[in-house]
Amino acid sequence: MSRSLSGHREGPGSTSLDPATRRSQRTKAAVASTIGTTIEWYDFFLYGTAAALVFPAVFFPGESALAGTLLSFSTQFVGFAARPIGAAIFGQMGDRIGRKAALIATLSLMGTATALMGVLPGYATLGVWAPILLTLLRIVQGIGVGGEWGGSVLMSMEWGTRRRHGFMASLPQLGVPIGLLLSTLAVKLVTKATGAAAFDDWGWRIPFLISVVLVGIGFYVRLAVLETPAFARAREHKEVVKQPVLEVIKTQPRAIITSAFVRMAEQAPFYLFITFVLAYGTEELKLERGALLNDVLIAAACGLVSVPFFGFLSDLLGRRLVYGVGIVATAVFAFPYYGLLNSRHSGLVLLAIVLSLLVHDIMYGPQAALISETFGTGVRYSGAGLGYQLASVVAGGPAPLIAAAILAGTGASTWISVYIVGCAVVSFIALLCMPQPHASVEDPASDAREMAR
């Protein structure tokens, strides 16, 4: 018997559960992971939307529209830079203490930072301290998200069997489209309720404060899940690694590096597709904010189907094949994407945004299993988290800044498309260089029990 973080005694260890309880825990783990990542990404995407639409005026007044946007995206970037730090901190915790404890901590950190953003006074009240405090809160957000992904993916994947890793690991990835859907919907509904002027003045704070309610739901769900069987076995067999972060850096550096760069084609374009597109569409193309938000909502809703579908497809066809198709599709779509946007035709703009997230999901569905399976159980949280979050520094974080700088320098989208193609080339090389799945991923006994049911 062991104690949960809530102080209540848990049932038998996850390695000795009866079949019915095991199936129940598998479902709870998938639901808890998905709800948790939804909350984390709701908070993170909400910041991205506000950075494009509101923060330039609230925290960086007096600048030109483009300069204000660049400064706003710079504060967004520090959140990305902080994510590998979160991966290291909570990877160490998740590999030594357990996946569950780390996930409770990341949820607490993220929720607190987001709620404080909702009450943070602007430049008019605090002067230069306003953007400074915003930046510090963004760093805390980044640390929370950096530690969240690895634990959520492993909580779901390690409760599933080897032959279902792609599908099970894709379920927490649903937090991205659901979080994007909820954050965009929250902005849209609050804007409609308050009016555009009032939203830009004070209404933008409401979606940030709603996060407190979501975090409470996340706590309730996560406390009901037992530790994963894989980590429980490692603990029972006294195989827990004392310094997992240092160990994985020393023993599997190629796996970490390739995991980071294989995400270039997925993450860099993604933040152009869902964040920079709002600034580009409203400022450069003079499109209506509400129409763009509607298009993002529709595209995010499609992801509820496409993300788990491509994760499931990777169980049938192989992770690398499905992921490689996604890389190629992203490169092929780079120029048509901006061609459709630049038409300013509402139907073609919708098509551009929907297709952009679809090609993204071809990679995002199998990505969690592709990366996580590369590492051994004792260092999996640390290794997968570090590899995944390092991409934030080289891909996701700089992408809106690079795109804004390209647009400012050239006045056209052509070289932004070239940038996307370049990201795809880097990812394809990294995919070819990735190590094969680690031996500890295989669990023949568990799979045999599952097949017998």
Number of H helices, E strands in the chain: 22, 0
pLDDT number for residue 450:
40
What span, in angstroms and rounded, lies between the C-alpha atoms of 326 and 196?
37
What span, in angstroms and rounded, lies between the C-alpha atoms of 419 and 399?
9
Amino acid at 287: L
- Helices 253-261, 380-391: inter-axial angle, 10-degree rounding: 40
Amino acid at 401: L
For the chain, 453 residues long, give each residue's pLDDT as a single digit of tens: 344 443 333 444 555 666 777 788 888 888 888 888 888 778 877 887 787 778 878 887 766 555 666 666 676 678 778 889 999 999 999 888 888 888 888 888 888 888 898 999 988 888 888 888 888 898 898 898 888 888 888 888 888 777 888 899 899 889 888 888 888 888 888 988 998 888 888 898 999 898 888 888 888 888 878 877 878 887 887 778 889 999 999 999 999 999 999 999 999 998 888 778 877 888 788 888 788 888 888 988 898 999 999 999 999 999 999 999 999 999 999 999 999 999 999 999 999 999 999 999 999 999 999 999 999 888 998 999 999 989 888 887 788 888 888 988 888 889 999 999 999 999 999 999 999 987 767 654 444 344 334
What span, in angstroms and rounded, lies between the C-alpha atoms of 301 and 312?
18
Q: Which of 276, 303, 286 is nearest to 361 (CA)?
A: 303
pLDDT number for residue 68:
62
Contact 262, 431 (CB under 8 A): yes
* CB atoms near residue 216 (< 10 Å): 12
pLDDT number for residue 62:
66
pLDDT number for residue 423:
96
DSSP codes of every residue in 106-139: HHHHHHHHHHHHHT---HHHHTTHHHHHHHHHHH
* pTM of this structure: 0.79
Tokens 């709870």 -> residue? 28
What span, in angstroms and rounded, lies between the C-alpha atoms of 380 and 254?
14
Q: Which tokens in the block code for residue 279?
A: 């600034």
Contact 208, 117 (CB under 8 A): yes
The beta strands (E) that lie in 165-323 are given as none
pLDDT number for residue 371:
94
pLDDT number for residue 449:
42
Domains of the chain: 21-225+235-435 (1.20.1250.20)
* CB atoms near residue 448 (< 10 Å): 10
Q: Which of 322, 295, 299 is nearest to 309 (CA)?
A: 322
